[in-house]
Amino acid sequence: MAQYMGEIRGEIQRLTEELIERQELDGTWRFCFENGISIDACTIILFRTLNIDKEDLIRQLHDRILAAQEPEGCWRWYHDDKEGHLSATVEAYYALLYSGYSKPEDEPIQRAKRYILDRGGIGHAGSLLTKAILAATGQRDWPTSLSLIPIEILLLPESLPLNFYDFSGYSRVHLVPLLIMADRNFRARSKRTPDLSELFLDARSEEEDPLTLTPESREPLKLIQSALAHLVGTPQRIRHAAVNRAEQYMLDRIESDGTLYTYASCTVLMVFALLALGYEPQHPVIQRAVEGLSQMKFAVDRGGQGGTRYVTIQNSPSTVWDTALISYALQKAGVSPTHPAIQRAADYLRERQHHRPGDWQIHNPGIVPGGWGFSETNTFVPDVDDTTAALRALSAFHADDCEVLESWNRGLNWVWSMQNNDGGWPAFEKNTNKEMLTWLAIEGAKSAAIDPSEADLTGRTLEFLGNFAKLSVRQDWVARGADWLLSHQEEDGSWYGRWGICYIYGTWAALTGLMAVGMPADHPGIAKAADWLRRIQNPDGGWGESCRSDQLRRYVSLQASIPSQTAWALDALIAVHDQPTPEIERGVARLIAMLYEEDWPSTYPTGAGLPGYFYVHYHSYRYIWPLLPLSHYVNKYGDGTH
C-alpha cells in the first residue's frame, strides 16, 4: 500500500503549500467566519436607522442576503433546515426593504412575505435578537420576557447567591443593552422605516408576547426579587443608578476597534442602547462602533460563479483561532518551527496574548492574565480553547526561548486555573454554571445563560495537557478532568460538543483528550465511543452530522459526508488504534476525495453558536481538520505498516 501512503503524503504537501502561500505578511491567516445572514441584516437595519453613509457596504450586504434566498422564499441556517428559518427570514425581509435596493413589489420580497405569513406572521419569530431589532425600530413592543429581569440586577453584590455575574459573559454583553432599551421602551422610527404591520397576524403576539412561567422559571426570579429588596434607596434612585451602571458596563468593555466584546451582535444592540440613553448618532462612541462593524466585513469568492464575490459581516473574526490552528497543523504536517511561516505566526500569537484584566477574574481571582481570545482585537475576553490552540502552536519554541517560555507558563497557568470545581473546563469563565438561570423563560437561556463544563472543551484541554504539557492522569487535577468526561458520556458512547456540530465533535475531543493523558484504548468508555463512531460511518466512508443534533440533543445523521466531521472522526479513531482499521482506511480515502469537491457539504456549517439560531461555516476548516488526521495517520502508522 505504499502508493496509498504516497497519495496521503501528496495531499499533505499540497495543503501545506497552499496554506503557506495564503499566509499574510503579519503572520496571520485570515479566513471568513461566516455566520448566515442575520448579522448582515441587523447591520443594514442599524446603519439605515443611523442614516450612516455606507452605501457601498449596504448594497453589498443587500446583494449577499438576496442571493441566499431559497426558492420557497425563506432563508435557512443550514442546508437541511427543511422548513426554513422564520426569524432569519424576517430579518432578511426587513433589511432588504430598509436598504432601499429591494421594493415591496419585487418578486423575491413577495415570496418572502408569503413564507412569513404562511408560518403565522412575524409574531411567531422566536429569536430574541429578531424581537429586539424589531422592537428597537418600532415594529413591535418589547418582549415581556425581558421584564422578568429588572435592570437593578446589575447593582446586586457578587456575594449574593444569585447576581448579574452568574450569567455567562456572552449573555451579559447582550442582556445589558436589551435591558436598557426595554427599560426606556426605546423605539427609533423614521420616514424611511418600512412598515411591517401587515405581517403581524396575531395582535396578541405583537403587543403582549405572553409567557407561561413554569415553577422552575419562577425560582431564579424569586431569588432576584428577594435580593433586590435589600437595595437601599428610593425605587427611582435605584433605577437611575442601575441604568448608569449598565451604561458604564458597556463603555468599559469596548475594544480598540469600537466593538463591544468584539461581537457584532452585541455591538449592534449597544448602539441602539446608547441611542436610548440619549447619545446622538454622531457621538464618537457610536461612530467608532460603526467603523468597527464595517471592518468586520469579509469578501468571499463565490466558487464556480464567474469569479464574483459576496461581502458578509463576521460576528467575530476568527483570526487568532485560525492562525493558531493552522500553525499547529502545519507543524504536525512536518513544517519545521524554523520555517519563516511558523516563525511569523509565533510572533503574531505572542503579541496577542492577554495582559489586561477581564471579567473572568471575578470567579477566578488572583490569577495573572495569560490567555488568548478568538479575534484579533480581543484584549480581555480570553477563552480556554483559543488559549490551548495558541499554546500548541508555540510549543516548539518554549524550551529554547526565554520569552516564549514566560508566555507559555502564563498561558498554561491560566488554563490550569480555569478548571471548574466539577473537574471539567468551561469556555470563558470559571464556575459560571448555576442551572437555575437556564430555567428563565428567555429564548436561548438554556444554552447561553451559563458557561458550564463541556465535553469538547474538557477533551481538547486534556489533549493539550497530555500531548504538549506532558501531563497525565497521574496528576490529580488531570484525573479529575478525565473523570468528568467519563461521567458525562452519553448512553450510546458519544459526547455532546457545545461549540461544534455536535456529537461527532464532542466525541472526537473527548477521545483524543483521554488518550493523550494516558487512558488505555481498551477502557470501556473509550471502546464504546470508538464503536459509536464506527456505527455512524456513512456508506461512502465519511461522516456527517446535521445541525439538528444541536437542537434535539441527540445525534441526527446528515445523510452526507462533511470534510471537517470526517476529519474529526478519523482523528479520534487514529488516536485509539495502533494499526489502521478498515474504517480508517475508507475514511481517509473519502476525506481525500472531498478535498476536491465543491458542493453544499463542503460549506455546511460545523461551528455552533446558539442552538437553533446561530451556526458557523469556518472557511479555514477545509484545510485545518483534513490536514491533521492525514498527518497523524502518516506520523503514527508510517510506511512500515503498508
Tell me the catalytic residues. Answer: 385
CA distance 236 to 14: 66
The per-type count for the chain, helices as H runs and strands as E runs, is 26, 5
Q: Residue 406, exposed/middle/buried by CB under 10 A (0-12, 13-18, 19+)?
A: middle
CA distance 491 to 271: 46
Angle of CA points 465, 471, 476, to nearest 5°: 105
Sort residue 198 into left (φ over 0), alpha (ψ -120 to 50) or beta: alpha
Helix (H, G, I), strand (E, B) or coil at 34: strand
CA distance 577 to 587: 14
Query: Which residues, including other chains, have CB under 8 Å from residue 106's CB and lie 6 or more apart?
Result: none
Q: Residue 598, exposed/middle/buried by CB under 10 A (0-12, 13-18, 19+)?
A: exposed
- Pure H helices in 488-601: 503-516, 524-535, 548-552, 563-576, 582-594
CA distance 489 to 491: 7
- Pure H helices in 260-318: 264-276, 284-295
**Cβ atoms within 10 A of the Cβ of 280, count?**
10
CA distance 27 to 376: 12
To which H or E segment does residue 407 belong? helix 402-417
Q: Report cis status (omega within 30 of 0) of the bond before 502.
A: yes
C-alpha cell recorded at residue 438: 437556564
